[in-house]
Chains A and B, each alone.
Chain A
Amino acid sequence: MRILNLKTFLLFLAPALLLYSLFYAGPIISGLYYGFTDWKGISFSANWIGLDNFKNVFSDPLFATALRNMFILAVVVIAVQHAISIFLAVLLDQKLRGVVWMRAVIFYPAILNTVVIGYIWSYMYSPFVGFLPKFFESLGLDTLANIDWLGRPDTAIYAISFVIIWQYTGYSMMIYMAGLQGISSDIYESASIDGANARQKFFKITLPLLVPAITVNTVLSVIGNMKQFEHIWVMTQGGPANSTQVFGTLIYQFAFKTSQPGYGTAMAILLSILIMLVTVSIIRVLGRWEVKQ
């Protein structure tokens, strides 16, 4: 029996389909055309220039910087964030006193506004008046106290990475906890009877059975970090000396600051392709490691 007929089907689908196509998918897909033009972004008209934008992108040093920073954000941040959050999830899955409260505090930064977080950390890092200089000074570590973390090209991206980890560790932790709750306690009991110690249980039971949660979590953070714009825009705007440029900040600048949206769009196309490739490979690779309970 059909619940909907064609008319009601279209009626139900129409609002979402129209808004989504006009104001989200359409603009992005039209970028597939604008990426091959000298578009100035003043109107919808533009001249076809073939592959020129893409050729320029590949010889652009900023593209190399963006790739490098994307790699740092997508690999280093995720490795650190997920190692900590799996560990914390296992710890806070125990019956400790005040455990609900502790989880809530660790999760809290995830709901805060990026601008607020950006300000807090800009101050934490800021030379002379900030928290870190004063903190290191009070410990007698003068060399560390004199580092301008966000102001130096070699440290800035790592300083920002730390902030991202600070904000989202609690979020990944909660996803891992949801995964842990799906593991039946029978498995642990029989492992105990067989004489397994805590470490063996973690590596032989917990970790393999967490792979689905790891997949979800990694895909979420990889996509999020590859699209990164906000944290960097609020803290460094891509500086100092372009050392923290990522695709998001570059595309924004080409679009709204230097009037080269055609060029920026070419970059956005490359980024979209990269994101899709990476997402699919993560799901493939981790999918192979999944085991049935």
Chain B
Amino acid sequence: MRAAKVSSYGIVAVCLAVILVPLFVLATVSLQNASGTLNPLALPETYHWSNYPKAIEVGRLVLYFTNSVTVLAVSLSATLVCSILAGYALRHGRAWKADWYFSYFLLGMILPGFAGTIQSFLLLRELSLLNTHLGLSIIQVAGGMALPIFLYFQFFKTVPLEIEEAAMIDGCSPIRIFWQVVVPLTLPVTSTCIIVIAINSWNDFFGPLVYLSSPDSRTLPIGLMFFKTQYSANWPQLFAASALVAMPITLLYMFVQRFIIKGLVGGAVKG
């Protein structure tokens, strides 16, 4: 038993090192002198904290951060509203072929989104929504609602019908039952959905790459990608920018990691 525990620690230590070394390299290179020789194997000799403010300025990170937050806010709230309503309709819509709609929505988890990219691109152009955050948000909502709908549907199936029937007998309208009786019960699913949707939107790369071509509308991931094409040899500054881009989600993860892991894994397992 002792030997087994020691070897467990050994194997886990190797895995931890493989995960942590690249992150250490990111940190240490981001603090090294941009014009000197880089040493990824050790801490910097002098700490060049100035790489960070420079990265913010050169990479226009404040603007891109605001853009990312805007897209996230719109797409998160719209996805939640759409999927909670649809999940509820599907739960109570057996009389109107709800299971057909359900399979139709589930296609969204399997089909490759890029199969319809140009069509969506042209559609957004027709609607003058190209290069707008609203346009990207709409695409994210449409492409990301399958899993939340599924999660809400599964959840509503576990709510005993008697609760809603009792409210109905008391004379509640369907909309009031939904809003005052059912929605308050959804907090656990909603928190899972929030995490999945928010992380997908925040890390979305393909969407903004295609639908946001003007430099001013870029979100953080795309802004970061163009950082390299413009300043390719400057690893320390690029890494300072990368560390800053990774910062918000990392801080959040440090405080509520259990919650985030549970949300992402729970969303996947039930899906």
Interface-central residue, A5, A26, A108, by most chain B CB under 10 Å: A108
CB distance from B12 to the nearest CB of A (A): 6
Instruction: Please give the number of chain A residues whose Cβ is less than 8 angstroms from any Cβ of chain B in the complex.
Output: 98
Q: Is B62 an interface residue (CB 8 A)?
A: no
Residue of B82, B114, B199, B268 near A15 (CB, 8 A) is B82
**Do B269 and A9 have beta carbons less than 8 Å apart?**
no
Name which of A59-67, A72-80, A87-95, A141-149 contacts chain B: A87-95
CB distance from B266 to the nearest CB of A (A): 8
Residue of B16, B29, B116, B249 near A24 (CB, 8 A) is B116
**Do A91 and B206 have beta carbons less than 8 Å apart?**
no
Residue of B20, B25, B89, B142 near A4 (CB, 8 A) is B89
**Do B40 and A131 have beta carbons less than 8 Å apart?**
yes
Given contacts A27-B123, A30-B119, A135-B41, contact A2 B95 (CB under 8 A): yes
Given contacts A13-B90, A27-B119, A120-B242, contact A229 B85 (CB under 8 A): no
- What string of 1s and 0s marks CB contacts (under 8 Å) between B20-31 and chain A? 111101100100
CB distance from B246 to the nearest CB of A (A): 5
Q: Is A205 an interface residue (CB 8 A)?
A: no
Residue of A15, A24, A248 near B85 (CB, 8 A) is A15
Name which of A48-56, A99-107, A151-159, A184-192 contacts chain B: A99-107
The secondary-structure label for the interface of chain B is helix
Across-interface contacts of A27 in B (CB, < 8 A): 115-120, 123
Given contacts A20-B142, A25-B107, A116-B246, contact A12 B86 (CB under 8 A): yes
Across-interface contacts of A17 in B (CB, < 8 A): 86, 101
**Do A8 and B175 have beta carbons less than 8 Å apart?**
yes
Complex-state Cα separation, A155 to B108, whole angstroms: 34
**Do B41 and A134 have beta carbons less than 8 Å apart?**
yes
Complex-state Cα separation, A83 to B116, whole angstroms: 35
CB distance from A182 to the nearest CB of B (A): 10
CB distance from A213 to the nearest CB of B (A): 8
Q: Is B185 an interface residue (CB 8 A)?
A: no
Residue of B23, B206, B220 near A113 (CB, 8 A) is B220
Residue of B86, B114, B205 near A251 (CB, 8 A) is B114
**Do B15 and A24 have beta carbons less than 8 Å apart?**
no
Q: Is B92 an interface residue (CB 8 A)?
A: yes
Q: Is B38 an interface residue (CB 8 A)?
A: yes
Q: Which 5 A-B residue pairs are closest in the complex by CB-CB distance?
A: A27-B116, A27-B119, A268-B115, A16-B86, A23-B142
Using CB atoms and an 8 Å cutoff, list the residues of chain A in contact with chain B: 1-6, 8-10, 12-13, 15-17, 19-20, 22-31, 34, 41, 43-44, 84, 87-88, 91-92, 94, 96, 100, 102-116, 119-121, 123-124, 129-131, 134-135, 138, 166, 169-171, 174-175, 178, 198, 213, 216, 220, 223, 226-227, 229-230, 233-234, 247-248, 251-252, 255-256, 261, 264-265, 268-269, 271-272, 275-276, 279
Using CB atoms and an 8 Å cutoff, list the residues of chain B in contact with chain A: 4-5, 8-9, 11-12, 15-16, 18-23, 25-26, 29, 37-41, 78, 81-83, 85-86, 88-90, 92-93, 95-96, 98, 101, 104-105, 107-123, 138-139, 141-143, 145-146, 149, 161, 164-165, 168, 174-175, 177-178, 199, 202-203, 205-206, 209-210, 220-222, 224-225, 228, 235, 238-239, 242, 245-246, 249-250, 253, 257-258, 260-261, 264-266, 268-269
User: Could you list some 22 contacts between A and B, CB below 8 A?
Assistant: A3-B165, A13-B90, A16-B85, A22-B123, A23-B139, A24-B113, A24-B143, A26-B119, A30-B116, A44-B122, A113-B202, A113-B245, A113-B246, A115-B222, A119-B224, A120-B239, A171-B268, A223-B109, A230-B205, A234-B225, A247-B112, A276-B110
